[in-house]
Structure 1
Amino acid sequence: MFQIEELASALSFSSRHSSLDSVASLDSWSGSPIPASPVPAGRISPLHRRFRVSAKKALLMWVRDQCKEVHCTVNVKDFKTSWRSGEAFLAILLALRPELVDLSRVQNRSNQENLEEAFHLAERELHIPRLLEPQGAVGYS
């Protein structure tokens, strides 16, 4: 979790690519106040201080925003089953580099094929090392 907070604090979210500015005090999906997450003293990231949300929740909110912008059909609720089809991974790539991904092809391919394409594009085009293989990534079957 601390690694996610370190990465999140290093990210520079622009207003175009982030819904965090609008959720500084409310969860935009439920409308409820966002409770501050417990973080040990001395380990509070600038992002956590500013928005009073955990890095994990902030990252999930960013992913939802990216998916919404590119009209992704997956409702990203978590970092487990929401990723199974590969569509969320592809939606993030599409949001970052629109010329790389055609989301209309997602429904005609298997989950494994979608995950393979997403991991391949991320590695080749964005230089993000492949840390997972589609077969074991999120239980694609």
Structure 2
Amino acid sequence: MGEQTWQQWFNHWLTQLDPALSPIDAYSLCLRLTDDAEIQQLNATYRSYNQPTDVLAFAALENLVADTPPPVQWQTDPVELGDIIISLETASRQASEHQHSPEQELAWLASHGLLHLLGWDHPDAASLEQMLQQQDNLLTSMNIL
């Protein structure tokens, strides 16, 4: 998949989600596609899980205090959402296990990472179900599911 596909997905999803953070409706994020060895190292360093995972998301807005005015630079620059890291090796395995295309798996993982960057989390079964439903909505809107 090329950079244009990724940009199209994220632009569409951000339009659909309408996070209303940026006064100029401009957002930026970093997407890194990697292997199991690198994502395992990141998972161990930042989450204390010394094993590979499918996707990691590091939100840049975690420390943004609610009800405070947005930073001045948001008037002219994109809002930096953070970093999404996806293991291509794990994504490939999971696509086979779930019997769908690698593209579907990558879209699933990317949408999951994006939701985390926007503050979604799944500490319990109910919030996980809401997040999974939102992922379904995002992928369905792009005819990926």
Flag the structure with more relative contact order, 1 or 2, with Cα contacts below 8 A and sequence separation at least 6.
2
Higher percent of residues as strand:
2
Q: TM-score scaled by structure 2?
A: 0.29
Q: TM-score scaled by structure 1?
A: 0.29
Higher percent of residues as helix:
1
